Amino acid sequence: MSQDNLPENAHLTQRMFNSLLASQRAPLDDLVLHQKQTLQALLTHAAATTPFYREHLSGLTETTGRIGPDGFRSIESIDRARVERCWPGFISQDIPVSHGQQRIVMTAATAGAPLRVVRTAMTDIADAAAIFRHYDNFKTDCSLDMAEIMAPSGYTRRREGRHIDRDHWGHPWVPDCDRGRLHRYSVFSSCADQAAWLGTFEKPFYLRTYPSNLHRLLESAAQSDFADTNILAVHSTGEPVSPDLRETCRLKLGCEIIDHYATAECGLVATQCPESGDYHIQQESCLVEVLRDDGGQCDIGESGHLTLTPLYNYGFPLIRYQPGDKARLSSACSCGRTLPCLQADIHRPEHTLLAGTGVMTLLPGRITSTLDVLAPDARWRLLQVDDGHINFVYSYPRGARRVKESDIVRFLTSEFKHAIVVVCQEDPAVGCTSGGKFSLISSV
Ligand SMILES: [Zn+2]
């Protein structure tokens, strides 16, 4: 494809990518000013075109017709449950034509139904430009192949095994023949199948998968099936990356893990710094706050609720949205990039277990899909009793197939590798909360 025939979105992505390469080293004052202007435009749009914000932002407008910094900080944060309850109210009734085509995406579902959000071509362009900046920071060669082992769609409780199709992943503004090919495989397939598939790659390539899946692959006996392939780096997302896993990856694959933090609702939020290991906030496209329980701003190093305002979500504006993750701000990075940083331990408490040697994070889709097979009719949750000790608490309707506890214990013990004690406990009240929702993991 010649440059003249490229879709307009590819040109826009390239322009934004070039702009982001420069802005990550711009004076912080310039970044802050740009973010304020972008935020102001978003607030005006949300108040004018969405029922939810028409109601919730009225009264915050100053005499200038704008919502100032104090007004913004007085906007109540919202969580996923609130968005689900008021769902139609978040959809913009007048999306600017310049934001392009709209589509609905589903977020991952750990319990209950996935959340639907509206994305536009503009949100995709902003995310693509930022992810290519991330790749560029790690000198990623976007003309090489990418082997992706992820959930086949946003709805992670699907149980199908292999899922292969082919596409390109490299810069959309270069001809297809110069773009890396994308090869996909399902994370719900067995380690042996994944390893055999990775062993078929003959040229150097990149691997993209979840940290928990990488952990399983590297601990698996099948690892020898792809030990001779040349994986240049592992791109990860979706879960925290432990220092142990980074070290194991270096030892066994001879390469680094390159991680970023993103959510389906808000897009790309922060990317690992190649030098410090902190995560640079994507300041140009997302306003990130870390808040205390009382809504106050956390100090640097203080753990709080990650709070996001994606600045290009004109189809489904989310202002001060809390996806449920905890994070800590970091001090200015030594690498020369001026984008503010989060520390590397962004995590979701309800997906996190303490397992003797450290914090472990579940890949909800993987765990739930397997437990749904082992306990097809049961309602269950994992209860952290103390460090390294979890209970599988379950109940099932009268007449349903009984849970085979030994299978559950064997699966969970092997899944977590580290020293962990698993006890099954039947409890008719499991999973019942007043809101009808429950977390996969909770602590006593
Ligand atoms: Zn840095």
Ligand 1: centre distance to CA 363 (Å): 27
- Whole-number Å distance, alpha carbon 272 to ligand 1 midpoint, is 8
* CA-derived radius of gyration, the chain: 22
CA dihedral 41, 45, 48, 52 (to 10 degrees): -120
| Beta strand pairing call for 205-209 and 145-150 | parallel
Ligand 1: centre distance to CA 336 (Å)? 6
Query: How many angstroms does the Cα of residue 177 sit away from the middle of ligand 1?
Result: 33
Residue-by-residue pLDDT tens, the chain, 444 positions: 445 555 688 999 999 999 999 999 999 999 999 999 999 999 999 999 999 999 999 888 777 778 888 899 999 999 988 998 999 999 999 999 999 999 888 776 544 557 889 999 999 999 999 999 999 999 999 999 999 998 765 433 334 444 445 588 999 999 988 999 999 888 878 889 999 999 999 999 999 998 878 987 887 888 888 988 999 999 998 888 888 889 999 999 999 999 999 998 999 999 999 999 999 999 999 999 999 999 999 999 999 999 999 999 999 999 999 998 999 999 999 999 999 999 998 987 766 666 555 555 555 555 666 777 788 777 777 777 777 788 888 887 777 777 888 998 888 887 766 657 788 888 877 754 433 334 555 554
Contact 302, 322 (CB under 8 A): no
Report the sign of the C-alpha dihedral through residues 39, 40, 46, 49, in that order.
negative
Please give the single-letter amino acid code of residue 315.
Answer: G
72-114 pLDDT per residue, tens: 999 999 998 899 899 999 999 999 999 999 988 877 654 455 7
The dihedral over CA atoms of 249, 254, 260, 265, expressed in degrees to the nearest 10, equals -70
DSSP 84: H
267 and 240 in contact (C-beta within 8 Å)?
A: no
Distance 341 CA to ligand 1 centre (A): 8
- Residue 277 CA to ligand 1 center (angstroms) comes to 7
Which domains are delineated in the chain? 3-86+271-342 (no CATH), 138-262 (3.40.50), 349-443 (3.30.300)
Element (H, E) at 223: none
**What are 102's strand-pairing partners?**
120
Q: How far is the CA of 279 from the centre of ligand 1 (A)?
A: 7
CA of 254 to the centre of ligand 1 (A): 23
3-class DSSP state for residue 148?
strand
275 Cα to the center of ligand 1, angstroms: 6
Q: How far is the CA of 23 from the centre of ligand 1 (A)?
A: 13
Tell how far the Cα of 276 is from the centroid of ligand 1, in angstroms: 5
38 phi, psi to nearest 5 deg: -65, -40
- Could you give the C-alpha distances from 216 to 121, 165, 189, 245, 414, in angstroms and in order? 35, 23, 12, 10, 9
Query: 191 burial class (0-12, 13-18, 19+ CB within 10 angstroms)?
Result: middle
